[in-house]
Amino acid sequence: MTEAYIQTALALGLVVGLILVMGVFIGKRQKKTEEIIKILAYRSLGLKKGISVVKIGKEILVIGVTSNDFKLLKTIDENEIGYGLTKEIVDRINRLREIKEELLGADK
């Protein structure tokens, strides 16, 4: 009877070991693949509204997002990214925030 317990425990240990080895192998393999779509930033502009910066391949897309639609605001090539362009995007986002605050202030 003891031999059956030992045999069962060894078989179970072998199965669990194989599962762990396969998990490590698959995990390493998945980490090597590149993401095709990567969300770089998202800024909420209100309930279910915002601006998202998404990288697809070598292009960076600035997208306006609402609850039932999204619109492409600007397309930027990865090689064009520089301080001036980044500052321009930040300025536009800040201007949108100001407009939002003005609109919310007008509602009160």
SS3 95: helix
Same domain, yes or no: 45 and 24? no
Same domain, yes or no: 64 and 103? yes
Task: Give dist(CA 100, CA 29) in Å, integer.
Answer: 45
Same domain, yes or no: 24 and 59? no
Same domain, yes or no: 44 and 95? yes
Q: What total of structural domains would you count in the chain?
A: 2
DSSP states of 3-61 as a string?
Answer: HHHHHHHHHHHHHHHHHHHHHHHHHHHHHHSPPSEEEEEEEEEETTEEEEEEEETTEEE
Enumerate the β-bridge partners of residue 50.
44, 65
Is residue 55 over pLDDT 80?
A: yes
With vertex at residue 42, the alpha carbon angle to CA 37 and CA 45, rounded to the nearest 5 degrees, is: 145
Is residue 42 over pLDDT 60?
A: yes
Same domain, yes or no: 44 and 86? yes
Same domain, yes or no: 67 and 96? yes
Domain that holds residue 14: 1-33
Out of 31-35, 44-48, 103-107, the most confident range is 44-48
The pTM of the full predicted model, rounded to 2 decimals, is: 0.47
Same domain, yes or no: 8 and 21? yes
Out of 1-5, 19-23, 36-40, 76-80, the most confident range is 19-23
